[in-house]
C-alpha cells in the first residue's frame, strides 16, 4: 500500500559539491526527540556503569592493601615459638630431601647386592665452623654433597653382576686349557648356569655388544668417569651398542662362549682402559 504524500517528508542534505534529498516518513521526524532521548539515556547508563566499576575496583584495591598491611603486622608480632616452628618445618623439608637421596643411593646399592646407608638419622660434625652455619646452609651443604655422592654411586661400578660364588680371581693363574702354562686373568669369574641373568653394575652406555675374541659373546659398558666394565662368555646378549643402561639392568645371559671351559660369567672393571681388580668394587668396605 502506497503512503499518502502528507505522510512523507523530504529532507534536503546540502554540501559544497551537490545536494541530496532523503524522503522519510513524517511520523519518524516527529519522534526524533524520543530517539535522541533514548540514545542519551544509553550513554548515561554506560557512563554510570563505568564509574561504578572503577569505584568498585578502587575499593577492592584499598581492601587488599589493608589486608597486606595487617598480614605484615601479624608477621612482625609472631611469637618466637611460631618462628622456631617455621624453621623446624624448613629443616624437616631439607632432611626429607636428603633422606630421599640416601634412599635412591640404597636402591643403586641393593641392585648390586650391597648393604645400603641408614636413612633413620642425618648427622654432622659439631666443630666450631659447623656451629656458625645456619640450618639452611648446613642442610644445603649436605644436599650438595649427597647429590655428588648419588652421581658417583650411579656411575661407578660396584657390587655383583651376578650374586654367586667366585670360581676364578684377578691375577696370574694356570691356563685352564693347559695347566703347564700360566696366564694373566684380567677379571673375576662368577659361578653360573647357561641362561642365568647377568646385570650391569653401574649406569652407562653400551660401547660393544657382540663377539669379542676369547671373551666370546661380550658386552662392554662405558660409565663416563674413566670406568668401563666387561661381561664375557655370554650365551645371549640383550643390549645393543649405544643403549643407555642403568645399574642392575639385565644385559645378557650366562654362557660358555669363546675361550671357556664351562658356563660362568667373566667380569672385568677397567680404569682408563687398564684392567683393575674387580674385587675392590664388590663391597664398600674394601
The rounded distance, in Å, linking the Cα atoms of 157 and 200 is: 8
What pLDDT was estimated at residue 112? 65
The rounded distance, in Å, linking the Cα atoms of 60 and 273 is: 71
pLDDT digits (tens, 9 = 90+) for 210-224: 999 999 999 999 998
pLDDT digits (tens, 9 = 90+) for 90-128: 666 766 777 677 777 777 777 766 666 655 544 445 455
pTM tops 0.75, yes or no: no
The rounded distance, in Å, linking the Cα atoms of 178 and 159 is: 31
Are 152 and 219 spatial neighbours (Cβ–Cβ below 8 Å)?
A: no
pLDDT digits (tens, 9 = 90+) for 130-187: 556 676 776 777 777 777 777 878 888 988 999 899 999 998 887 777 666 778 999 9
What pLDDT was estimated at residue 126? 47
Burial class (CB in 10 A: 0-12, 13-18, 19+), 121: exposed
Domains of the chain: 5-30 (no CATH), 80-155 (no CATH), 166-281 (2.70.70.10)
pLDDT digits (tens, 9 = 90+) for 3-61: 455 566 665 666 666 666 666 566 656 666 677 777 787 888 888 787 777 777 777 77
Task: Give buried/exposed letters for 159-172 (b at 16+ CB in 10 A, else e).
Answer: bbbbebebeeebee
Are 161 and 231 spatial neighbours (Cβ–Cβ below 8 Å)?
A: yes
The rounded distance, in Å, linking the Cα atoms of 229 and 155 is: 11
Amino acid at each position: 500500500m502506497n503512503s499518502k504524500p502528507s505522510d512523507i517528508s523530504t529532507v534536503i542534505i546540502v554540501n559544497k559539491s551537490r545536494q541530496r534529498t532523503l524522503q522519510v516518513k513524517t511520523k519518524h521526524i516527529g519522534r526524533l526527540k524520543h530517539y535522541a532521548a533514548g540514545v542519551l539515556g544509553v550513554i548515561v547508563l554506560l557512563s554510570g556503569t563505568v564509574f561504578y566499576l572503577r569505584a568498585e575496583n578502587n575499593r577492592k584495591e584499598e581492601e587488599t592493601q589493608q589486608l597486606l598491611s595487617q598480614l605484615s603486622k601479624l608477621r612482625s608480632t609472631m611469637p618466637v615459638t611460631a618462628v622456631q616452628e617455621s624453621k623446624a618445618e624448613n629443616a624437616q623439608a631439607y632432611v626429607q630431601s636428603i633422606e630421599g637421596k640416601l634412599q635412591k643411593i640404597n636402591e643403586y646399592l641393593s641392585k648390586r647386592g650391597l648393604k645400603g646407608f641408614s636413612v633413620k638419622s642425618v648427622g654432622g660434625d659439631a666443630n666450631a665452623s659447623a656451629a656458625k652455619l645456619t640450618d639452611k646452609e648446613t642442610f644445603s651443604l649436605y644436599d650438595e654433597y649427597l647429590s655428588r655422592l648419588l652421581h658417583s654411586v650411579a656411575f661407578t661400578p660396584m657390587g655383583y653382576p651376578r650374586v654367586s660364588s667366585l670360581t676364578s680371581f684377578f691375577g696370574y693363574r694356570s691356563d685352564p686349557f693347559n695347566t703347564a702354562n700360566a696366564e694373566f686373568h684380567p677379571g673375576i669369574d662368577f659361578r653360573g648356569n647357561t641362561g642365568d641373568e647377568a646385570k650391569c653394575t653401574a649406569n652407562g652406555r653400551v660401547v660393544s655388544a657382540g663377539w669379542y675374541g676369547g671373551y666370546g659373546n661380550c658386552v662392554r659398558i662405558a660409565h663416563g668417569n674413566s670406568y668401563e666394565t666387561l661381561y664375557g662368555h655370554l650365551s645371549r646378549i640383550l643390549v645393543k651398542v649405544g643403549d643407555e643402561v642403568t645399574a642392575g639392568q639385565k644385559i645378557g645371559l650366562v654362557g660358555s662362549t669363546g675361550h671357556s671351559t664351562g658356563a660362568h660369567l667373566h667380569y672385568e672393571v677397567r680404569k682408563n682402559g687398564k684392567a683393575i681388580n674387580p674385587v675392590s668394587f664388590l663391597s664398600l668396605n674394601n
